[in-house]
Amino acid sequence: MTEASTGTAAVAEAPPTSDRTWTELLAYATDDCLHALQEGAAGDWSRQAHGLDWSCRETLDHLALGLIGYAGLLLARPQDRYITLFASLDPEASITACLEGLRIAASFLGTAVRDTAVDVRAWHPWGHSDVTGFAAMGITELIVHTYDVTRALGVSWAPADDVSAAVLARLFPDAPVGHRPFDTLLWCTGRAALPGLPRTAEWRWHGSVR
């Protein structure tokens, strides 16, 4: 692991597919996804999320765990394990209150991304990663699980092209080209087919620094 420098953390560079920095991309994705999820707040959240074994509400718990976890990994910087802090949402809380919890979790990750030097590395089972990788992981979690939930609840939603393109460039270097970025991301995460490419049964991203 490379330790953070003692001075002010360098700002993570914007990915080549977007004019926004990773901090800005994460903030935008958070606002966009939570707005879409709020549109479905009155729906049946006990319904199974699209393509998952979890309910829509359980999917929010998974999101909270992931966002806090990525922030924690950037802060603790372990080399061979996950952190010991696990986040969960109040099972008695309303969906709107749960979405507030997700915004808090995303804000923790955003702060960690903003304040962590670019030479820092931390463990992840899919590759030791840097600040850009963990930002991209958080955005991917937000995008794909917002898709899972909104599709189950009948809410029409899709993310901005530059957000999907940025995470594809960072985490999925072998992604097929020539398709809409969001459609490609759904294919890369086993959620949809592409023309000439069947839906994948197994998938993973590549967080290692390249």
Mean pLDDT, the chain, whole residue set: 92
pLDDT single digits (tens) 122-157 = 999 998 999 999 999 999 999 999 999 999 999 999
User: Which pLDDT does position 5 carry in this prediction?
Assistant: 32
User: Which pLDDT does position 18 carry in this prediction?
Assistant: 73
* The amino acid at 179: H
**Alpha carbons 74 and 120: distance in angstroms, whole number:** 8
Please give the span between the terminal C-alpha atoms of the chain, in angstroms, as a whole number: 15
**Alpha carbons 7 and 194: distance in angstroms, whole number:** 46
Q: Is the pLDDT of residue 9 over 90?
A: no
Asked if 101 and 93 touch (Cβ cutoff 8 Å), the reply is yes
Angle at Cα 31 formed by Cα 86 and Cα 168, nearest 5°?
Answer: 75
pLDDT single digits (tens) 44-63 = 999 999 999 999 999 999 99
Bridge partner residues of 194 (DSSP): 197
Q: Percentage of the chain with pLDDT > 90?
A: 85
pLDDT single digits (tens) 87-131 = 899 999 999 999 999 999 999 999 999 999 999 999 999 989 999
| Token pair of 44 as six digits | 């049946």
* The amino acid at 23: T
- Does domain 22-188 fall into CATH 1.20.120.450? yes
Record the pTM.
0.92
